C-alpha cells in the first residue's frame, strides 16, 4: 500500500521591510527558493544560504525549503541534513520538524518520525503535513484507527489536498471498507484528475470488490497518466489473472519487470500465473529470481515449494517450506503445505503435526482441518478424521470437499448409507464436485444400483474428462449394465504415458494383469505401494468380468491387505470380498 507524504508548507521568508532592504538578486533567489521546484529551487536556496544576508533563525527557512526540494527528488539524505540544520537554527520551525519526520518515515524509523511530527504539531497545531505524516507512521505500525484520525485532521485543515484523501482511502481499503475507500479516491481524482496513484489505488479497491473490469479501467488510466508506474502494471496483471486472462497478466508483469528489473512483486506474480498455466518450470525460474533479489522473501520460498509440490518433488518442496517457516515462524500456510508434502511421502505423523501447527496459528484455517482429517483417515483413525471434517464444515458449511471426505471416512467405517448422504451433501453444496459423484457412484454400484452408478460416473466424467480412474469406473459400470464400453473413446483424452495408463490398457485388452503389476514398480516406495494397490484391485475387477472368481478373490485379498486406506482399492476390495462371501 503506497502512502504519500505532503510537501511541508514552503516558508515565506521576506517581509515588506526586508524586501525593501535587500538587493533585487537576493529577493529573486528567495522567491525562487520558495516557489520554484526541483533543481531550480535547490540552486536558488543554495545561493540564498551562501549570500550571507541571513543568519540564525532568519536563515532556517532556506534550509527547510531546500530540504523539501531534495526530498521531492528522492534525496532523503541531503533533505535530512537540511531539515536538521533548519531545526538547529530555529528550534521552533514546525515545517522543518514535519519535513524531517517525513524523511524518518521514508527510512522506516517510525519512532523518530513520531517524535518529529508530534513536535511539529505542538509548535503549529494547524500543520496539515504533520498530521498526514504521522498518519503514515501510524499506518506503518498497523495502527489504522489512529492513522485514520490523523488523516481526518489533515483533511479538515487542508480539504483540497488530493494526497491525503488518497492516503485515507488506503486506510479504509486496509480495513476492508472498499466503498469508503472508493469515495476518497473519487475525491482525490476530482481534486487532481491527473493523480495516477489515486486511479491505481481505486483500481485496487474495485479489484477487492471483485469488479476486475472497473479495476482494469482504473489501471489503464493510471498507466496513461504515468507509463512508468510499475505498480499499475503489476496490479493490472493481478486483475487479468483474476479474470483468467493469464497471457494478458504475463504481458503486464513482463512490462513491470522491464521497467524495474529488481521488482520482486512482478517476478513473484508472474511465477504464480505460470504455475496456474501448469508451467511449473517457468514458475520456479521466477521464484528463483525473487529469492536472488530478496533472500528473505518468505512468500517466494512458499510459492516455489508449491511449484515443486506440483511437480511431485516433495523433498524440494519441504526444503522451501522449511525456509519460509524459518523466515516467518507464523506462516500458517507454509506449515499446511509442508504437511501435504509429508502426507504424500507417507509420513502422516509429521503431516498431522504440521497441520496442527497451522491450526494453532490460524484456528479458522479450514483447509488445515480438512487436510488433517485426510491424514487421520490414512492412519485408520476415522473418528478423529470425522472430527476434523466436522470442524471444517462448521467453519465453512458450503465446503463440498469436506463433506466428500467425511463421506469417505464413514465409508471406511462401513456406514455406507451415511457415506452416500455425505456425498450427496457435497454435490448439493457444489454440483461440480466430480469426486463426490465418483464416490457415490462406487457405492451405488456396490449396492447393485447400476443405473444410478452409471449416471454418477458419467457426470463425474463430464466434469473431469481427463481423469483415468473415472473412465475406468464408468467402463466397469457399463460392462455390468451390459452397455457398450466407451473406454476406447475416453482414452483419447487421457495421458497414456503416466499411471494408471497400464490399468486402462488392461481394460482395453492391450495388457495382461502381470504386465500391469510389472508396470506398477517404482523407485519411490510410497508411489509403488499405491500403484501396486491399483494393479491388484483393478486386476481383481477384471478377473470378475472374465468370470474367474477365485482369482478375483485372491487379488482382492492382496488389495485389502496391502492398500493404503486412503486408496479406493482398500475400501473397494473389502466391499467386493464381502459381496463375494469371502473374508479379507
State residue 11's pLDDT score.
44
State residue 565's pLDDT score.
84
Topology given in CATH for the domain delimited by 1-158: 1.25.40
> What are the pLDDT digits (tens) for 383-396?
999 999 999 999 99
> What are the pLDDT digits (tens) for 400-419?
999 999 999 999 999 999 99
Mean pLDDT of 479-490: 92
Q: What is the DSSP letter of 565?
A: T
Phi-psi region of 482 (alpha: psi -120 to 50; beta: other; left: phi over 0): left
Q: How far is CA 414 from the centre of its chain?
A: 39
> What are the pLDDT digits (tens) for 178-215?
999 999 999 999 999 999 999 999 999 999 999 999 99
Q: How far is CA 171 from the centre of its chain?
A: 20
Helix locations, 362-486, DSSP H: 366-378, 382-395, 400-412, 416-429, 434-447, 450-463, 468-480
State residue 21's pLDDT score.
37
3-state SS, one letter per residue, for 181-213: HHHHHHHHHHHCCCCHHHHHHHHHHHHHCCCHH
State residue 19's pLDDT score.
30
CB burial of residue 508 (10 Å; 0-12, 13-18, 19+): middle
Which one is predicted more confidently, 27 or 179? 179
Q: Which residues contact 303 (CB under 8 A, 6 or more apart)?
A: 268, 271, 272, 275, 283, 287
Residue 449's pLDDT band, with cuts at 50, 70 and 90, is very high
Q: What is the DSSP letter of 93?
A: -
CA distances from residue 37 to 3, 17, 73, 540 in whole angstroms, order as listed: 21, 26, 9, 84
pLDDT tops 60 at residue 23:
no
Q: What is the mean pLDDT of the chain?
A: 93
Mean pLDDT of 356-365: 98
State residue 1's pLDDT score.
66
Check: CB of residue 559 under 8 Å from CB of residue 542.
no
SS3 category, 527:
helix
State residue 34's pLDDT score.
82
For the chain, give the percent of residues with pLDDT over 90. Answer: 87
Residue 33's pLDDT band, with cuts at 50, 70 and 90, is confident
Check: CB of residue 112 under 8 Å from CB of residue 104.
yes
Mean pLDDT of 239-266: 97
Q: Which residues contact 492 (CB under 8 A, 6 or more apart)?
A: none
Mean pLDDT of 470-475: 97
pLDDT tops 70 at residue 283:
yes
State residue 473's pLDDT score.
97
The whole-angstrom separation of Cα 339 and Cα 353 is 8
The whole-angstrom separation of Cα 374 and Cα 380 is 10
The whole-angstrom separation of Cα 536 and Cα 25 is 98
pLDDT tops 60 at residue 353:
yes
The whole-angstrom separation of Cα 235 and Cα 424 is 40
- Alpha-carbon dihedral sign for residues 465, 469, 472, 476: negative
Residue 13's pLDDT band, with cuts at 50, 70 and 90, is very low
> What are the pLDDT digits (tens) for 490-543?
999 999 999 999 999 999 999 999 999 999 999 989 899 999 999 999 999 999
Mean pLDDT of 106-112: 91
CATH architecture for residues 397-484: Alpha Horseshoe (1.25)
pLDDT tops 70 at residue 241:
yes
> What are the pLDDT digits (tens) for 41-71?
999 999 989 988 888 878 898 999 999 999 9
Closest CA to 533 of 572, 569, 584, 576: 569
Mean pLDDT of 81-107: 93
Q: What is the DSSP string of 311-330?
A: TT-HHHHHHHHHHHHHH-TT
Closest CA to 440 of 423, 427, 417: 423
pLDDT tops 70 at residue 25:
no
CA distances from residue 485 to 94, 325, 363, 428, 535 in whole angstroms, order as listed: 85, 50, 48, 29, 21
State residue 56's pLDDT score.
82
Residue 2's pLDDT band, with cuts at 50, 70 and 90, is low
Domain boundaries of the chain, sorted by first residue: 1-158, 397-484, 506-584
State residue 20's pLDDT score.
30
Same fold, 1-158 and 397-484: yes
Residue 9's pLDDT band, with cuts at 50, 70 and 90, is very low
User: What is the rounded (10 degree) CA torsion for 449, 454, 459, 465?
Assistant: 140
Mean pLDDT of 109-119: 92
Work out the angle between the directed axes of helices 332-344 and 366-378 (0-180°, nearest 10).
Answer: 20
Give Rg (Cα) of the chain: 33
> What are the pLDDT digits (tens) for 303-326?
999 999 999 999 999 999 999 999
Check: CB of residue 513 under 8 Å from CB of residue 506.
yes
SS3 category, 491:
helix
Closest CA to 32 of 21, 16, 51, 46: 46
Cis peptide before 500 (omega within 30 of 0): yes
Amino acid at each position: 500500500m503506497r502512502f504519500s507524504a505532503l510537501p511541508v508548507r514552503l516558508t515565506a521568508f521576506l517581509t515588506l521591510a526586508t524586501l525593501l532592504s535587500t538587493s533585487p538578486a537576493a529577493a529573486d533567489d528567495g522567491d525562487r527558493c520558495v516557489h520554484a521546484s526541483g533543481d531550480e529551487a535547490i540552486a536558488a536556496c543554495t545561493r540564498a544560504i551562501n549570500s550571507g544576508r541571513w543568519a540564525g533563525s532568519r536563515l532556517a527557512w532556506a534550509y527547510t525549503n531546500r530540504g523539501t526540494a531534495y526530498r521531492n527528488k528522492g534525496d532523503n539524505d541531503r533533505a535530512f541534513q537540511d531539515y536538521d540544520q533548519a531545526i538547529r537554527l530555529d528550534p521552533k520551525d514546525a515545517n522543518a520538524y514535519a519535513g524531517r519526520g517525513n524523511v524518518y518515515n521514508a527510512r522506516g524509523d517510525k519512532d523518530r518520525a513520531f517524535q518529529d511530527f508530534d513536535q511539529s504539531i505542538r509548535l503549529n497545531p494547524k500543520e496539515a503535513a504533520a498530521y498526514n505524516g504521522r498518519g503514515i507512521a501510524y499506518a506503518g505500525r498497523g495502527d489504522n484507527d489512529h492513522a485514520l484520525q490523523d488523516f481526518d485532521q489533515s483533511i479538515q485543515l487542508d480539504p483540497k489536498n488530493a494526497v491525503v484523501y488518497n492516503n485515507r482511502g488506503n486506510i479504509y481499503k486496509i480495513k476492508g471498507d472498499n466503498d469508503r475507500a472508493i469515495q476518497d479516491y473519487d475525491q482525490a481524482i476530482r481534486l487532481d484528475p491527473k493523480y495516477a496513484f489515486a486511479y491505481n489505488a481505486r483500481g485496487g479497491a474495485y479489484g477487492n470488490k471483485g469488479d476486475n473490469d472497473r479495476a482494469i479501467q482504473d489501471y489503464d488510466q493510471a498507466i496513461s497518466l504515468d507509463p512508468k508506474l510499475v505498480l499499475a502494471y503489476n496490479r493490472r496483471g493481478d486483475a487479468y489473472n483474476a479474470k483468467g486472462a493469464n497471457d494478458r497478466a504475463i504481458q503486464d508483469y513482463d512490462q513491470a519487470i522491464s521497467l524495474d528489473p529488481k521488482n520482486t512483486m512482478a517476478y513473484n506474480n508472474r511465477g504464480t500465473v505460470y504455475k496456474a498455466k501448469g508451467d511449473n518450470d517457468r514458475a520456479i525460474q521466477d521464484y528463483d529470481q525473487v529469492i536472488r533479489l530478496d533472500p528473505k522473501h518468505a512468500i517466494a520460498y512458499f510459492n516455489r515449494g508449491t511449484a515443486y509440490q506440483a511437480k511431485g518433488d516433495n523433498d524440494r518442496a519441504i526444503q522451501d517450506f522449511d525456509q519460509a517457516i524459518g523466515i516467518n515462524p507464523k506462516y500458517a500456510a507454509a506449515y499446511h503445505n509442508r504437511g501435504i508434502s509429508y502426507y504424500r511421502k507417507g509420513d502422516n505423523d509429521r503431516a498431522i503435526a504440521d497441520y496442527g501447527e497451522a491450526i494453532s496459528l490460524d484456528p479458522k484455517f479450514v483447509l488445515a482441518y480438512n487436510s488433517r482429517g485426510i491424514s487421520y483417515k490414512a492412519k485408520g483413525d476415522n473418528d478423529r478424521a470425522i472430527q476434523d471434517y466436522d470442524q471444517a464444515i462448521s467453519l465453512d458449511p458450503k465446503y463440498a470437499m469436506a463433506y466428500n471426505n467425511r463421506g469417505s471416512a464413514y465409508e471406511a467405517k462401513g456406514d455406507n448409507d451415511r457415506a452416500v448422504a455425505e456425498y450427496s451433501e457435497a454435490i448439493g453444496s457444489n454440483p461440480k464436485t466430480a469426486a463426490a459423484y465418483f464416490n457415490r457412484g462406487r457405492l451405488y454400484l456396490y449396492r447393485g444400483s447400476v443405473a444410478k452408478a452409471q449416471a454418477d460416473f458419467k457426470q463425474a466424467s463430464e466434469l473431469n474428462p481427463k481423469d483415468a480412474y473415472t473412465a475406468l469406473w464408468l467402463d466397469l459400470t457399463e460392462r455390468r449394465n451390459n452397455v457398450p464400453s466407451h473406454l476406447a473413446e475416453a482414452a483419447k483424452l487421457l495421458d497414456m504415458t503416466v499411471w494408471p495408463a497400464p490399468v486402462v490398457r488392461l481394460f482395453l485388452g492391450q495388457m495382461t494383469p502381470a504386465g500391469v503389476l510389472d508396470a506398477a514398480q517404482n523407485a519411490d516406495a510410497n508411489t509403488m505401494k499405491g500403484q501396486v494397490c491399483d494393479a491388484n484391485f483393478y486386476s481383481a475387477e477384471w478377473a470378475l468380468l472374465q468370470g474367474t472368481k477365485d482369482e478375483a478373490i485372491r487379488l482382492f485379498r492382496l488389495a485389502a491387505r496391502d492398500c493404503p486406506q486412503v486408496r479406493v482399492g482398500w475400501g473397494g476390495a473389502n466391499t467386493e470380498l464381502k459381496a463375494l462371501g469371502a473374508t479379507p
